[in-house]
Amino acid sequence: MVAPVAPTTERPGDGGEEAAAIAANRRKALTVCLVPGLVVGLIIGVVVVLAGLPVFVGPVALVVVAAVVVWWLWWSAPRAVLRAVGARPSHDWEHPRLHNLVDGLCATMGLPGPTICVVESPVPNAMAIGHDPARASLVVTSALDETLTLVELEGVLAHELVHIRRHDTVLAGVAVVTTAPWAAITGLAGGVARVHRIIGPGRQFDADQRAARVVRYPPGIGSALETMVGLTVPSAARPWPPGTGRTAALTRWLWIDPMAGAPAGESPEGNLDDTRVRAAALALS
């Protein structure tokens, strides 16, 4: 048996890198919101001009409408994702070890406690969503708490808290919400791939590595992924992602195990976010 390793939350230079990652995530999230905002604003501006109003009203309408759309997308995205997957707030008496682990990890990582939500599903999985660490939600499935050991569950929760600390969550939310209309035209598979491109390939693998520095027993995260690989076989009895709408389906790459919703035969080659690849890499580290 490998002896537990004391958690180390930072390395030299981590502070600057973390700040840069946070700024990049928020900047990209704003850009992702701005594109549909400008498109809608441009359409309204043209309509205003064609309606015979003074020409200067067109640009004003474009700016105002674009600002409203950006604001609405930014603030509505987390709620839309939580609603789509059927997440409900969890009380500490319902899932005591889940809440205890999150409290301890937040103290270690210097984070405010997120709202813990549960999705009823037989697939063990988790994700995080929110504008920033002060308004974040950590979502777990009911099977996650029931299936994983204590050290495995700690690793998964640390992984999601890493996403919260780095503000990955704000980009994830707007990526899903802004892609939903686009996916209605181009198809769901293309929409899922677009969300993955926006949030960034390798995002999950990077969070695995960072989570391993925080937990008391680093091999736990790899063990959790191996457990998920062995359990997430698609079937009619184990539908994934949770929820039935397009928005829910687009959340695939937000979950720690995105392969739970993978099409049959999808190759892991070149995909660092594939759960099988990450479990194997962590076993070698």
- Is 12 a residue whose pLDDT tops 90? no
Residue bearing the bigger pLDDT, 45 or 126 = 126
Q: Please write the tens of the pLDDT for every residue from 216-257.
A: 999 999 999 999 988 755 555 567 889 878 999 999 999 999
**73: pLDDT confidence band, cut at 50, 70 and 90?**
very high
| Percent of the chain scoring above 70 in pLDDT | 90
Whole-model pTM above 0.95? Answer: no
CATH says 86-284 is which class? alpha beta
For residue 237, give the amino acid letter: A
Q: Decide: 241 and 258 in contact? Cβ < 8 Å.
A: no
Q: Is the peptide bond before 12 cis (omega within 30 degrees of 0)?
A: no
Alpha helices (runs of H) in 51-187, residue ranges in sequence order? 57-85, 96-109, 142-147, 150-165, 168-186
- Buried-state track 238-263, b at ≥16 Cβ within 10 A, e below 16: eebbbbeebbbbbbbbbbbbbbbbbe
The predicted pLDDT at position 1 comes to 38
Q: Domain segments of the chain: what residues?
A: 86-284
Q: Which two tokens stand for residue 57?
A: 């009203």
CA 20 to chain CA centroid, Å, is 19
Q: Which amino acid is at 119?
A: V
pLDDT digits (tens, 9 = 90+) for 128-150: 999 999 999 999 999 999 999 99
